[in-house]
């Protein structure tokens, strides 16, 4: 059975392009592209047989199917030959049962999907493996591709650089000079990316990277690239798989450019279309109050959308005022009985810290999701007996400054309710003993 | 079949104790304890049947067997009831095929086991899940245990705190005042450990923590606790499992307190005893030249051992001059045709950086292992066609300062051969284009 996928214009004109074409927008109407699959071919296999196949491959040794992205290859990107797959064993991250946090907030069935427990420390690996593999495929077919470029200061450039380094393909990262430190860039730098620091702002970088890519057969790994969505959608499939193919009631996901809302929705819709699941979860998208254009639109019943000027937020990866994927995301939220909630700096930091006390180590974006959950439970928009899955997008080890400042009570606009301060004591048994006995009785 | 394990004195007197006893040394002779299993009972199951059982459980949803530690429960710690297991889905980390690095250094079959891709970012999770689960078991049996304590500045306190936080058991971390920053401690602090900062040095802390534990029914999670070894030994089993049950020729492991040498050896010996494998790999233990007591002993053919004064090294987790597990480790190395090698600061930092350029993100300890590999290949002590597995013990995200300083060429005693420095450019298409074309031709 030869499965097939292609790019298709998502703006209504339905023009099609091959996945091994270097293309980012529809040539006819300029619209965004999305990856479409030959669903009829996928339906030749029964739902139960798909589930069995995916389970059989999950975390096993047969290349490349042990990766949870490539174990779903036919539904993700069948157009890449196995020997061109660039995989760092994506997915398979813990679906953490938040038993203690659930007890504190009164939910019974709360799960936190630890997507940040990944090679480069964020969920971006899931999409980047597909994009870089497709580039390797094109190179193997004789396409003259010099490298892959992006303008990003964060998780995207880290993932791009690691996958390119593993593949031996040059990665080129564009950044505004003096706005980014070596520390922020240490992943691309360590992975040998060609790092260009331009004396301009972020928009200036974007302009030049686009022209460079257009003129030089350098592939652009921007967030509109819909190959990445195909990898990211496997989170939906994997988490259902980890729940023994039961669909949770609610999925909560932080939203900036909103590609992940689209990706998660796509995963669920595909499973439903193939008969693997019978219901859809509600999708809750959460934003920082400092960068909340989707939330504003939600308040108007999605009747209108206006970009906002994003302000500085601790949730830096979703500090976006004019999301690229806004239209796709709103469409998806309408299909999934969607809810949008926001969280202030104080709310997100305290929510992350409370959850950390129960064994997690949350990034601020997960803090936004947790804070939103607390609010929606209070409003009874999420019920306490529902099965809730929060998508945690990055490892807390990427955000140790945030945590240090929280526990030193030095974050602006945040009153650190759960700050944990070391006790200073003389090295005397009795005093130490007394202190432990006093403090342990307060432990919760 | 009721499997069984117990503590047994490893110093010759062979005294036995139950695993649910709060005990750290033999009551008769004061010797170190090790966990022994009823091997005859384990042998009731055939080798093939064990392999099938372990494969069936690996990363699946049935609690607690999806964890790669608890999927091997009968061989690890059968004495814990499933409902008392405190697991954060240990193991299952990528066995990274270092194809590009292998090409550079001329090996064909080089693998790097990414143990740092774990909940708390290091291999310590593997042992801590066993220790904290046993504590939960004891509490469930009515034992009065107030908490679990350790004196550690690093990965051990991070793992202890996370597992205790997940279990709802107080963790107590002892530290010398002014010698450790909030940043170094952020994992225990975030996970709500009771953190005591004592006005003394590290030895002073150890003394008090031991007395506190003795007098208060606080469990001591020190590195002599052999329950942790049982969890850590699953790395051997898991990596053989990931190689379709084929034993590699060489295992390379960084050594400080040397518990991990014992653990890895134990895993292989158990598999051999049960008939699951027919050969043993060689074990190569590697040390920083600044803290190399085992290496010094190796040079004398292990005839003598003298503690050294450990000097500051970038490989901070193995900066130990008087290893706790020295005797067990030497015994193990003799059984495994062991080799010991060392690496200087310059060698370890450059080795880590070279490997990073091929898609990894190495901690300095993995750098020690890589540098030692390069030297042993040169000396032909490891052959280029051998199957080599390096145990990478922590995630590079725990060591971003090390990487930043490397690429800024600011590490003492290190000449950064592979420093990657951002190119500063004006925002002009032609100049940027020229720079990319020039630089990409140098890409390797």
Q: What is the pLDDT of residues A235-261, one digit of tens each?
A: 999 999 999 999 999 999 999 999 999
Instruction: Report the percent of chain B where pLDDT is more than 70.
Output: 100
Give Cα B130 distance to the centre of its chain.
14
Beta-carbon separation of B196 and A436 below 8 A: yes
Interface test with chain B among A422, A426, A428, A429, by most B beta carbons within 10 Å: A422
Beta-carbon separation of B433 and A212 below 8 A: yes
Beta-carbon separation of B424 and A100 below 8 A: no
* CB-closest option in A162, A200, A423 to B195: A423
Beta-carbon separation of A196 and B403 below 8 A: no
Instruction: Report the percent of chain A where pLDDT is more than 70.
Output: 100
What pLDDT score does B182 carry?
73
**Interatomic CA distance for residues B281 and B404, integer angstroms:** 36
Please report residues of A whose CB lies closer than 8 A to that of B88: 94, 96, 359
Beta-carbon separation of A407 and B117 below 8 A: no
Tens digit of pLDDT at every position of chain B (444 positions):
689 999 999 888 999 999 999 998 999 999 889 999 999 999 999 999 999 999 999 999 999 999 999 999 999 999 999 999 999 999 999 999 999 999 999 999 999 999 999 999 999 999 999 999 999 999 999 999 999 999 887 899 999 999 999 999 999 999 888 777 777 789 999 999 999 999 988 788 888 999 999 899 999 998 778 999 999 999 999 999 999 999 999 999 999 999 999 999 999 999 999 999 999 999 999 999 999 999 999 999 999 999 999 999 999 999 999 998 899 999 999 999 999 999 999 999 999 999 999 999 999 999 999 999 999 999 999 999 999 999 999 999 999 999 999 999 999 999 999 999 999 999 999 999 999 999 988 876
Nearest residue of chain A to residue B183 (CA atoms): A404
Please report residues of B whose CB lies closer than 8 A to that of A353: 190
Beta-carbon separation of B423 and A195 below 8 A: yes
Domains of chain A plus CATH, in order, are: 95-121+229-407 (3.40.50.1100)
Beta-carbon separation of B185 and A422 below 8 A: yes
Beta-carbon separation of A436 and B395 below 8 A: no
Single pTM value for the model: 0.97
What pLDDT score does A306 carry?
96
For the stretch A6-51, pLDDT in tens is 999 988 899 999 999 999 899 999 988 999 999 999 999 999 999 9
Reported residue count of chain A is 444
What pLDDT score does A1 carry?
64
- Cα distance from N-terminal residue to C-terminal residue, chain B: 56
Nearest chain B CA: its distance from A284 CA (Å) = 25
Rg (CA), chain A: 22
Question: B127: which 2 tokens?
Answer: 């042992």
Beta-carbon separation of B212 and A432 below 8 A: yes
| H helix or E strand, kind and range, residue A113 | strand A109-114
Interface test with chain A among B91, B244, B443, B444, by most A beta carbons within 10 Å: B443
Nearest chain B CA: its distance from A401 CA (Å) = 7
* CB-closest option in A168, A426, A443 to B199: A426
Nearest chain B CA: its distance from A73 CA (Å) = 19
- Cα distance from N-terminal residue to C-terminal residue, chain A: 56
What pLDDT score does A201 carry?
83
Nearest chain B CA: its distance from A199 CA (Å) = 5
Nearest residue of chain B to residue A199 (CA atoms): B426
Beta-carbon separation of B208 and A168 below 8 A: no
Interface test with chain A among B422, B434, B440, by most A beta carbons within 10 Å: B422
pLDDT higher than 90, residue A444: no
Interface test with chain B among A397, A407, A441, by most B beta carbons within 10 Å: A397
Nearest chain B CA: its distance from A302 CA (Å) = 38
Alpha helix locations (H) across A274-392?
Answer: 293-299, 326-335, 345-356, 364-378
**Interatomic CA distance for residues B265 and B248, integer angstroms:** 13
Do residues B340 and B379 lie in contact, with contact meaning Cβ atoms separated by under 8 Å? no
Q: Which residue is listed with tokens 């020997």?
A: A83
Nearest chain A CA: its distance from B175 CA (Å) = 9
Beta-carbon separation of A196 and B425 below 8 A: yes
* CB-closest option in A166, A353, A400 to B183: A400
Q: Which long-range contacts (CB under 8 A, 24 or more apart) does B57-62 make?
A: B58/A59, B58/B92, B58/B241, B59/A58, B59/A59, B59/A92, B59/B92, B61/A242, B61/A243, B61/A244
Beta-carbon separation of A118 and B117 below 8 A: yes
Beta-carbon separation of A189 and B407 below 8 A: yes
Nearest chain A CA: its distance from B216 CA (Å) = 8
Question: B208: which 2 tokens?
Answer: 């008090």
Mean pLDDT score of chain A: 95
Nearest residue of chain A to residue B102 (CA atoms): A166
Please report residues of A whose CB lies closer than 8 A to that of B195: 420, 422-423
**Interatomic CA distance for residues A260 and B198, integer angstroms:** 47
Do residues A111 and A95 lie in contact, with contact meaning Cβ atoms separated by under 8 Å? yes
Beta-carbon separation of B424 and A119 below 8 A: no
Nearest residue of chain B to residue A408 (CA atoms): B182
Nearest residue of chain A to residue B245 (CA atoms): A61
Interface test with chain A among B101, B104, B186, B350, by most A beta carbons within 10 Å: B186
Please report residues of B whose CB lies closer than 8 A to that of A194: 423, 436, 439-440, 443
Q: Give me the sheet containing B16-17, strands edge to edge.
A: B16-17, B5-9, B33-37
What pLDDT score does B442 carry?
81
Nearest chain A CA: its distance from B152 CA (Å) = 14
> Do the bridges between strand B109-114 and strand B387-392 make them parallel or antiparallel, or are there none, so unpaired?
parallel
Please report residues of B whose CB lies closer than 8 A to that of A359: 88, 162-163, 165-167, 191
Tell me how crowded residue A199 is: count the other CB atoms within 10 A of its CB: 13
Please report residues of B whose CB lies closer than 8 A to that of A410: none
What pLDDT score does B367 carry?
98
What pLDDT score does B72 carry?
98
The ipTM (two decimal places) reads 0.96
Beta-carbon separation of A359 and B189 below 8 A: no
Beta-carbon separation of A443 and B170 below 8 A: yes
Nearest chain A CA: its distance from B303 CA (Å) = 39
For the stretch A167-214, pLDDT in tens is 999 999 998 887 777 777 899 999 999 999 999 887 888 889 999 998
What pLDDT score does B444 carry?
65
What pLDDT score does B223 carry?
74
Name the band, by pLDDT with cuts 50, 70 and 90, for residue A324.
Answer: confident
CA neighbours closer than 13 Å in the CB half-sphere of residue B248: 33
Beta-carbon separation of A361 and B58 below 8 A: no
Please report residues of A whose CB lies closer than 8 A to that of B215: 433
DSSP B394: B
Mean pLDDT across A130-136: 98
Nearest residue of chain B to residue A185 (CA atoms): B404
């Amino acid at each position: 059975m030869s499965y097939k996928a292609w790019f298709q214009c998502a703006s209504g004109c339905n023009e099609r392009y091959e996945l091994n074409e270097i293309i980012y927008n529809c040539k006819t109407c300029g619209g965004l592209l999305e990856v479409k699959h030959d669903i009829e071919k996928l339906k030749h296999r029964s739902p139960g047989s798909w589930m069995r196949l995916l389970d059989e491959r999950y975390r096993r040794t047969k290349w490349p199917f042990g990766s949870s992205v490539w174990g779903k290859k036919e539904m993700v990107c069948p157009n890449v030959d196995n020997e061109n797959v660039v995989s760092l064993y994506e997915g398979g991250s813990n679906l953490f049962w938040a038993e203690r946090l659930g007890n504190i907030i009164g939910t019974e069935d709360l799960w936190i999907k630890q997507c940040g427990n990944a090679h480069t420390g964020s969920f971006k690996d899931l999409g980047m493996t597909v994009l870089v593999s497709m580039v390797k495929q094109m190179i193997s077919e004789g396409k003259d591709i010099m490298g892959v470029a992006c303008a990003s200061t964060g998780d995207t450039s880290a993932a791009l650089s690691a996958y390119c380094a593993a593949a031996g393909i040059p990665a080129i990262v564009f950044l505004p000079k003096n706005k980014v430190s070596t520390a922020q860039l240490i992943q691309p730098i360590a992975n040998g990316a060609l790092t260009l620091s331009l004396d301009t702002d972020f928009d200036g970088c974007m302009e030049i990277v686009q022209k460079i890519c257009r003129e030089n057969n350098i592939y652009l790994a921007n967030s509109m690239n819909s190959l990445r969505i195909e990898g990211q959608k496997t989170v939906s499939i994997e988490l259902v798989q980890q729940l023994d193919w039961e669909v949770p009631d609610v999925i909560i996901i932080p939203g900036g450019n909103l590609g992940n809302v689209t990706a998660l929705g796509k995963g669920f819709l595909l499973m439903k279309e193939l008969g693997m699941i019978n219901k859809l979860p509600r999708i809750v998208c959460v934003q920082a109050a400092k960068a909340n254009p989707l939330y504003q639109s939600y308040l108007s019943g999605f009747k209108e959308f206006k970009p906002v000027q994003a302000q500085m937020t601790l949730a830096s990866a979703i500090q976006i005022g004019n999301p690229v994927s806004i239209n796709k995301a709103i469409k998806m939220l309408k299909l999934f009985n969607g809810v949008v909630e926001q969280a202030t700096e104080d709310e997100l930091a305290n929510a992350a810290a409370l959850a950390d006390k129960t064994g997690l180590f949350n990034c601020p974006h997960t803090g936004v999701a947790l804070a939103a959950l607390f609010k929606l439970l209070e409003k009874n928009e999420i019920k306490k007996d529902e099965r809730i899955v929060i998508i945690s997008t990055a490892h807390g080890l990427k955000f140790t400054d945030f945590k240090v400042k929280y526990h030193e009570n030095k974050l602006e606009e945040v009153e650190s309710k759960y700050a944990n301060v070391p006790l200073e004591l003389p090295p005397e048994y009795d005093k130490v003993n007394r202190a432990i006995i006093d403090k342990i009785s307060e432990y919760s």
